[in-house]
Structure 1
Amino acid sequence: MVQFPHLLGNFTNSLQTHHLSRAVVMHYSWLLLLVGVLYVLLYGFGQLRNGQLGRQFEYELRKRLFGHWESLSTAYFRKRSIGDLLNHALNDVRTVREALSGGLNILTNAFFLLTATLIMTFRTVSPKLTIVSMIPLLFLPLFVIWWGPRIRNASRRAQEALSDMAELTEESLSAVRLVKATANEDIEAGRFETRVDQIVRRQMSVFRQSAMFQSMIPFLGSISFSIALLYGGYLTVTKQIQLGGFVAFTLYLAMIIQPLQQMGFVFNQFQRASASLLRLGVLFSELPDITDPAQPVQVDAIAGAVSVRLPVYRYPDGDRDALVNINFSASAGETIGIVGRTGSGKTTLVNLLPRIFDPPSGTVFVDGHDVRTLPLQTLREAIAYVPQDGFLFSTTIRENIGFSKEAATEEDIIWAAKNASFWNEIQEFPEGLETVVGERGVSLSGGQKQRAAIARAFLKDAPILILDDSLSAVDMNTEKQIIRAIRDIRQGKTTIIIAHRLSAIRHADQIVVLDDGELIEQGTHEQLLEENGVYASMVALQEGEEALA
C-alpha cells in the first residue's frame, strides 16, 4: 500500500520532465494494479485469520467461565444475581473478543502501514520535512495517557448498567405469573424503563468520551498538513525536493493520519475491553469455599450410614445460629424422617450432608468418615437429592429424568417414572417422554415437577436419597404409592425424608423433630406419640384437619 504515493510521485516527476509515454503509463498502471491486488489478498487473509482466532478465544473464555462457575460453592450464588452473571458471559466476553480480534487486526495493519510510510518518507522524500511535520502528532501519546482512564471508567459504568438491566429482566421473567396475577405489568415496565434509561445515559457518556478522543487525531493531523504545506512548499520552491516528492509526501501524510485514526479507534476498543476484562478478572478470582480435602480418604464404596454430631452451625454470611445441638445416627438402609415448622432448619441440615454448605469439621459423618475428608465427587455421587421445588431443566421429560444417569436406557427411564407415579401422566402427553417442559418445568404442575425430580433421583439409585419436602404438591393417594415404591426399591439404602405432611414419614425407622434449629425429639412414630410432645401435637392437628376436610 505504501508504494502508491512513491509510484505516483515518480509518475508526477515523469510528467513534469515530459518523459511520459504510452509504455511508461502502462508500466505504472500495472504496478499500481499489482500493489492493489496484493494488498487486498493480504488484508483479506489477515481479517479471516484474526476473526478465527477471536471466535476461538470467545469460545474458550466462555467455556472456562462456565466451568469456573460450576466449581464455585452455593454460597457464592446467594450473593450474585443470575442476570448479572449472564451479562458477564455475553456482553463482557463479546467486548473483549471484539477488541482482540478486530482490534488486533486493525492495530497490526496500522502499525505496519505507519512504520512503512515513515520509512518511505525518510528514504524517498525528505527526513527534515518528515520530522517537522510529525511534531504535532508527538502530543498524541500524552493525550492518550490522559484520556484513557475516562473512557475505561465510563465503559465500566455502562457495563454495570447492562448487568442491572439483565438482573431485572431475569427476575421479572421468572416471576411472570406473579406479575400477571397481580396486574403489575405497568410497574415492571416502569422499572425496566428506568434501567434502560440509565444504560442510555452511561453509554452516551462512553460515546462522548470516545468521540472527543477520536476528534483530536484529525485535528492534530490538520496541523501536520498545514506544516507540511508550508515547509514542503518552501522546500519544493527552493528545489530542495522535487515536485513529485512533495506530492508523494502529501499522500504519505494522509496515509499516516489514517493508521493513527485506526489506532485511536482500537485504543477506544481496548479501553472498553479493559473495563470488561477487569470485571471478568473479578469473577475468575473468586475461589470455591468448598473444595476437596488436601489428603482425601479413599473409599471403595459408600454404604449410606449417616451420623450427625453438630453442636452449632451458622451460615458463613449469617448473624445467628441456624442449627443447635443436632445429634442422631442411622445405619445404612434405614429411613430417617425430619419434621418441624417452616424455618426450623430442616433443609439446612440435609444440605450439610453433600456439603452444599460446609459443616464444621468432625460433625457430619458418612460410613464413619467425616464428610470433609471424603472427595467431593465420591460423596456427591453417593447422594441423590430432590429439592422441594423439583427443579427441572428446559428440555424434554426424558432428558430431565435421565439427567442423573448418562447411559440410561428408555426402560430405565420408564421404570423410574413408574415408581414415581408419573408414567401414566407422561403417556397422556401428546409427545410422551419427548414433551418439552419449558423454563424450569413451567408447563407442568407442581406435583408433576416433583414426581419428575423424584424419578430422576430413583434412576440414580444412590446409597443415600434425600427428599426435601418433595411430596408436598402430590395428593395423598399418590404420596402413598411413592412411599410404597421407596420401601420396595430402597431396601438396603438410606433414605432421608423431610415432610410437612406426617403421613410421608410414619414408616421411618427414626424421626427427628426440629424446632428453631434445635433437635427437640427423636424416635419412631409410635415412640414419639407415646411421649405426647411436639410431634404428637402435630399428628393430632393434621388428623383433625383431615377429618374436618
Structure 2
Amino acid sequence: MRSHLFSHAPLYAAGVALVAAGNVVNALFPGVLGRFTDDLHRNGLSAGAVQQYSLMLLAIGIGYGVLFGGGQLINHRLGRMFEFKARQKLFGHFTGLSEHYFSKNGGGKLLSYFMNDVTAVRESIANGLNQMTNASVLLVSVVAMMSFSSIPLYLVAVCVLPLLAIPLLVVYFGPRIRRKSAAVQEALASMTASAEEQFGGIRVTKTFAAEEVARSRFGETVDRIRANQLKLVRSSSLFQSALPFTGALSLVIAILYGGYLTIHGQLSLGGFVALTLYLRMIINPLQQIGNIINMIQRSRASLERLNALLDVQPDIREAEDAVVLAERAPVSLSIRGLTFAYPDSDHEVLRDIDIELPAGQTLGIVGKTGSGKTTLVKLLLRVYDPPAGTVRLNGIDVLDLTVESLRERIGYVPQDGFLFSTTIRDNIAFFNRQAEDAAVEEAAKLADIHANIQGFPDRFLTKLGERGLTLSGGQRQRTSLARGIVKKAPLLILDDSVSAVDTVTESRILANLRSARKGMTNIVIAHRISAVRHADRIIVLENGGIAESGTHEELLQKGGYYASLHAIQEEGALE
C-alpha cells in the first residue's frame, strides 16, 4: 500500500486538495447566512441585496459540489487501481507458493483475501481518505470561521470544549474495533471455505439426501460470523454514537449560552444563527470521524492479514546459479539413495530408491495404494524438494535446475486431471494457447477422445462446465491426457492416467503413445499390468521401497507381487 500511495502521490495530493477546497468553500455558508440575517434584522434588504446574497449562497453550493465531487472521483479511481494491483499481486504470490501451503489452506480461505480483505483496504484508501479530508478540513475551517467571525472567542472555546473527548474515545475504542474486525474477517474466510466445499460436493449431498446435514454445517459457520459481527457492531455503534453526542453537547451549550448572550445584547442575532449553523456543521464531521476510524481499524486488520500472507515464502526456491534444462534434448533420469518424508512428518514415504532410466526408454511403476508412486512423481517435478543429489535429469541435480525449465520439459498427466471452465480446445492447448489446430486434433486422436469431441455440436469449441463436469469421467481423463501429449515434452509421466477407460480403449491409447513417443522418455504409473507390460523396465513399489524390478517377463518368472497381480487381472479379464 505504501508503494501505491507514493507512486501516485501527485494524484492523491490533487484529490485531497480538491476535497479540502470544497470544504473550505462549504464553511463559508454559515457566515454569509449570518450576515444576511443581521442585515435583514437591522435595516431590511432591497431586492438587489437579497439577489446578491442568493447568488453568493448559490456560488458556495456549486463550488462545493464541483470541488468535492472532483476530489472524490480522483480518490475512488485510485482506490480501484490499488484493488486491481493488490489482487494481481496476490494471485502472482499464490502461483509461487508450493503444494504444501495449499494443502493446509483451502481455496475458500484464500478467496477471502481477494474479496474481503482487499476490499476493506480499498475502501479505507478511497472512502476513508475522502471522509478524513472532508471531516478534518471542515472541522478546522468551521472553527477558524468561528474565530474570525463576530462570535466572541470565549464562546467559541466553551462550545468546542466537548470535542476534546474525541482523542480519548479513539484511544479506547480503536484497538478493540481492530481486534474484533480481525475475528470477523477470519470467520468470513471460514464461511467462504465452507461454501466452496458445500458447492463442490453438492452432487454427493443430493445423492445421499444429506441436505439437512449440509445446511447444519454451513449454519455453524454463519453463526460464528454473526456472533463476531455482533461484538464488532456493539463496539462500533457505541463509538459512533459517542462522537455525535459530543457535537450535540456543543450545540446544547451554544443554544443555552449563546441564546443568553443574544437576549442580553452581547451577541447579534446573525452571530447566534451563524454559531448554531457552524456547530450543526461540526456534528456531521464527527459522525464521519466515527465511520473513518471504524473503517481504518477494519482495514488495518485486513492489511495485517494481507501482509502476513505476502510474507509467506515458497518452500520451493531456485538456486542463484540455477541451470536451464535443454529445451528439446532427450531426458535421462537417475535416482540414487532417495529417502523422503513429507514436511511436518517423520514417516518416510520413500526409502532407498535407486532408478536408472536412460533417455528414450519407458519405465513402468506399479504398487499398492500408498506405496509412494505419486510422491516419487512430485519429487521429480519439485512439487516437493528431494534431498540434494538424489534425483538427477541428464546428470544434473533437479535442485540445480530452474523450476520453470524443469516443469516445461516434463508432461505430467495425473489420474484426476483438472479441466477448466473453458473450451475443450483451450483445455488441451493449456500449455500453449497458440498451438495449431492440427496439433490439438492430433493429440486428441492419440488420446482416443477425438471421435467423442466430433460428436459435440461445437466440437473443439464446446465449453465445459466447472471442473469439466460436462464430460464423463473417461472423457475428462482422456482430455487431460491429450493436454499432456500436445506438450511434446521430452519426459512424459502418466500417473494412472487411463484408469477410467475400458481395457480395449486403454490398449489403443497405449499403442498410440508407443508409436508417437518412440525414442522419447516415458514413465507409466498404473494399477493395471496391461498399462506397463511393454515398458523397458518395471519396478514394484511396496511400503515406500522397491520390492521388485525387471521386465514384464522377468517379473512374471519371479512369482512375486507383480506375478500375483497379473494372475488376478488375467483371471478377471477371462471372466
**What TM-score comes out, normalization by structure 2 length?**
0.93
Pairing of 1:435-454 with structure 2 (within 5 A): 435-454=462-481
Aligned partner of 1:471 in structure 2 is 498
Matched, 1:34 2:59: yes
State the distance in 2 between where 1:69 and 1:180 align.
33
State the distance in 2 between where 1:154 and 1:414 align.
56
Aligned partner of 1:528 in structure 2 is 555
Matched, 1:72 2:72: no
Q: Give, as a single letter, the amino acid of the residue that structure 2 aligns with 1:377.
A: E
**TM-superposed deviation, 1:506:** 0.6
* Deviation string, structure 1 residues 145-189 (Cα, Å, up to 9, x no partner): 101122222222222222121111111222222212211111101
Aligned-pair identity in percent equals 49
* Deviation string, structure 1 residues 406-430 (Cα, Å, up to 9, x no partner): 2112111111100100000111112
Matched, 1:483 2:510: yes
Matched, 1:515 2:559: no
| Unaligned segments of structure 2, at least 5 residues | 1-25
Residue among 402, 422, 431 paired with 1:375: 402
Matched, 1:540 2:567: yes
**Contact 2:338-2:387 within 8 A present in 1 as well:** no
- Match of 1:405, SS state, is coil
State the distance in 2 between where 1:151 and 1:163 align.
18
State the distance in 1 between where 2:294 and 2:454 align.
58
Q: Give, as a single letter, the amino acid of the residue that structure 2 aligns with 1:149.
A: P
Residue among 189, 201, 209 paired with 2:215: 189
- Match of 2:572, SS state, is helix
Aligned partner of 1:339 in structure 2 is 366
Pair 1:299–1:469, CA change in 2 (3 A): closer
Matched, 1:231 2:265: no
* Deviation string, structure 1 residues 280-336 (Cα, Å, up to 9, x no partner): 222111110001112112444342111111341000122301100100111111111
**TM-superposed deviation, 1:238:** 5.4
Pair 1:487–1:93, CA change in 2 (3 A): same
* Deviation string, structure 1 residues 452-489 (Cα, Å, up to 9, x no partner): 01100111000111111101011111111111111111
State the distance in 2 between where 1:122 and 1:330 align.
88
Aligned partner of 1:111 in structure 2 is 136
Residue among 81, 84, 95 paired with 2:120: 95
**TM-superposed deviation, 1:253:** 1.2
* Deviation string, structure 1 residues 1-32 (Cα, Å, up to 9, x no partner): 11110101111221222152222111110000
State the distance in 2 between where 1:217 and 1:299 align.
65
Matched, 1:244 2:265: no
Comparing 192-201 with 66-75, which one deviates more in the overlay? 192-201
Aligned partner of 2:419 in structure 1 is 392
Aligned partner of 1:174 in structure 2 is 200
Residue among 136, 143, 149 paired with 2:162: 136
- Match of 1:221, SS state, is helix
State the distance in 1 between where 2:324 and 2:450 align.
39
State the distance in 1 between where 2:286 and 2:244 align.
9
Residue among 169, 193, 218 paired with 2:244: 218
**TM-superposed deviation, 1:237:** 4.8
Q: Give, as a single letter, the amino acid of the residue that structure 2 aligns with 1:258.
A: N
State the distance in 2 between where 1:374 and 1:126 align.
79
Comparing 78-87 with 217-226, which one deviates more in the overlay? 217-226
State the distance in 1 between where 2:108 and 2:226 align.
18
| Unaligned segments of structure 1, at least 5 residues | none
Residue among 284, 287, 299 paired with 1:258: 284
Aligned partner of 1:57 in structure 2 is 82
Aligned partner of 1:281 in structure 2 is 307
Residue among 296, 307, 316 paired with 1:290: 316
**Contact 2:365-2:525 within 8 A present in 1 as well:** yes
Aligned partner of 2:20 in structure 1 is none
State the distance in 2 between where 1:473 and 1:94 align.
43
- Match of 1:135, SS state, is helix
Aligned partner of 2:333 in structure 1 is 306
State the distance in 1 between where 2:486 and 2:152 align.
82
Matched, 1:410 2:437: yes
- Match of 1:394, SS state, is coil
State the distance in 2 between where 1:244 and 1:178 align.
75
Aligned partner of 1:325 in structure 2 is 352
**TM-superposed deviation, 1:236:** 3.7
**Contact 2:325-2:402 within 8 A present in 1 as well:** no
Q: Give, as a single letter, the amino acid of the residue that structure 2 aligns with 1:170.
A: E
Q: RMSD across aligned C-alpha pairs, in angstroms?
A: 1.5
**Contact 2:426-2:433 within 8 A present in 1 as well:** no
- Match of 1:512, SS state, is strand
State the distance in 2 between where 1:237 and 1:170 align.
69
**TM-superposed deviation, 1:242:** 3.0
State the distance in 1 between where 2:75 and 2:164 align.
30
Pair 1:403–1:343, CA change in 2 (3 A): same
- Match of 1:365, SS state, is strand
**TM-superposed deviation, 1:248:** 0.9
State the distance in 1 between where 2:251 and 2:416 align.
71
**TM-superposed deviation, 1:395:** 1.4
Q: Give, as a single letter, the amino acid of the residue that structure 1 aligns with 2:133.
A: T
State the distance in 1 between where 2:155 and 2:364 align.
91
State the distance in 1 between where 2:491 and 2:467 align.
25
- Match of 2:429, SS state, is helix
Aligned partner of 1:506 in structure 2 is 533
State the distance in 2 between where 1:314 and 1:180 align.
38
State the distance in 2 between where 1:503 and 1:170 align.
38
**TM-superposed deviation, 1:107:** 1.3
Comparing 13-22 with 101-110, which one deviates more in the overlay? 13-22
Aligned partner of 1:364 in structure 2 is 391
Matched, 1:157 2:190: no
Aligned partner of 2:298 in structure 1 is 272
State the distance in 2 between where 1:412 and 1:127 align.
85
- Match of 1:308, SS state, is strand
**Contact 2:325-2:406 within 8 A present in 1 as well:** no
* Deviation string, structure 1 residues 64-106 (Cα, Å, up to 9, x no partner): 1111101101100010011111122112211221222112111
Q: How many residues align?
A: 548
* Deviation string, structure 1 residues 218-252 (Cα, Å, up to 9, x no partner): 21112212222333335445555433222212111
- Match of 2:492, SS state, is strand
Q: Give, as a single letter, the amino acid of the residue that structure 1 aligns with 2:91.
A: F
- Match of 2:477, SS state, is helix
Q: Give, as a single letter, the amino acid of the residue that structure 2 aligns with 1:179.
A: T
State the distance in 1 between where 2:346 and 2:234 align.
46
